[in-house]
A = this chain, B = another copy of it.
Amino acid sequence: MILVRQEIGDVLRDFRLQKGRTLRQVASKASVALGYLSEVERGQKEASSEILASVAEALDVPISQIMREVGDRISVLEGIQVFPDVVPDDLVAEVEPELSLH
């Protein structure tokens, strides 16, 4: 089962490391307990929407960017590709009728 909190945790940690900040710095700026933030990053605790907003602000990352990154990573886990790697049959029929099976 794909767990959103695991992806949220990974994304929050990756943004934090990308910005060169420590757990302690972000926890302090977001007014969140250090141990709690650590558990959120490890996917062990669900972050409430309020905590997520505080941490996003502390990281200077829009919540939308966090959620989109979470969506993108989950889509990889789900094996869904953003762009189809085959041309749909009806498009083939339109462009190259002789190639179409229909």
Binding site for B on A (CB under 8 A): 1-6, 46, 48-50, 52-53, 62-72, 74-75, 77-78, 80
Please give the distance in Å from A54's CB to the nearest CB on chain B.
Answer: 9
A50 / chain B contacts, CB cutoff of 8 Å: 1, 3
- Main secondary structure, interface of A, reads helix
> Which residue of chain B is the closest to A74 with respect to CB atoms?
B64
A2 / chain B contacts, CB cutoff of 8 Å: 53, 63
The CA-CA distance from A50 to B43 in the complex, in Å, is 12
Instruction: Please state if A3 and B64 are interface contacts (CB–CB under 8 Å).
Output: no
The CA-CA distance from A26 to B1 in the complex, in Å, is 18
Instruction: Decide yes or no: A49 and B4 within 8 Å by CB, A74-B63, A75-B62 being known contacts.
Output: yes
